[in-house]
Amino acid sequence: MKNIKAILFDLDGTLFHHQPSSGEIFVEHIRGLGFQVSEADRVRAEHWVHYYFAHSPEIQTDSETFKDDSNGFWVNFTQRRLIAFGVSLTRSVELAPQVSAYMSKAYKPEIYVPDDAHTLLNFLKESGYTLGMVSNRESPYQAEMQNMKLDCYFQFFLAGGEINSFKPDALIFEHALELAGTCAHETMYVGDNYFADIVGSQRAGLTPVLYDPINLFPDADCAVIKSLAEIPALLK
Residue 2: pLDDT over 80 = no
Under DSSP, is residue 175 helix (H, G, I), strand (E, B) or coil?
helix
72-108 confidence digits (pLDDT tens):
999 999 999 999 999 999 999 999 999 999 999 999 9
Q: How far apart are CA 11 and CA 206, in angstroms?
A: 17
Average pLDDT over residues 42-60: 97
Average pLDDT over residues 1-14: 93
The CATH T-level fold of domain 6-17+111-235 is Rossmann fold (3.40.50)
Domain range annotation of the chain: 6-17+111-235, 21-106
68-77 confidence digits (pLDDT tens):
999 999 999 9
The structure's pTM equals: 0.94
N-to-C CA span, the chain: 7
- Nearest residue to 148 (alpha-carbon basis) of 107, 190, 192, 118: 118
Residue 217, burial from CB neighbour count under 10 angstroms (0-12, 13-18, 19+)? buried
pLDDT at residue 37, as a whole number: 96
pLDDT at residue 169, as a whole number: 97
Give the type of residue at 206.
L
